Amino acid sequence: MRVTLNCKVKANGIELLIPFLEKNLPNVRSFEGCMSVTVYFDRPNSEMLIEEEWFSVNKHQAYIQHIENNGVLSELASFFESAPVIKYFEKEII
């Protein structure tokens, strides 16, 4: 299961966001069901793309619930102009 999160970062916020990600990405990567996390930036447009691989949608949503409960989600959201666009993709063998 591939999950993408497209995020519009507040103006000049990428440099502030990076230390937060460095601190918190190990927690994502070690959460049950997470297989990988990669972060991409389009700096001229202040955009971030997070590409994750999870065993299932349920595992990802369990993680989202976890960070909502412990406050990390609201802290992450403070770096964004608006809520991220989250999409789920199933791998097809063609």
* Domain annotation covers residue 11: yes
* Domain annotation covers residue 75: yes
Percent of the residues in the chain that have a pLDDT greater than 90, as a whole number: 94
Assessment of whether the complete model's pTM goes beyond 0.85 = yes
- Measure the CA–CA gap between 34 and 72, rounded to whole angstroms: 17
Instruction: Provide the CATH number for the domain around residue 70.
Output: 3.30.70.100
Per-residue pLDDT tens over the stretch 63-80: 999 999 999 999 999 999
* Domain annotation covers residue 80: yes
Q: What is the DSSP string of 6-75?
A: EEEBPTT-HHHHHHHHHHHHHHHHTSTTEEEEEEEEEGGGTEEEEEEEES-HHHHHHHHHHHHHHTHHHH
**Full residue range of the structural domain in which residue 59 is found:** 2-89
* Domain annotation covers residue 94: no
What is the count of structural domains for the chain? 1
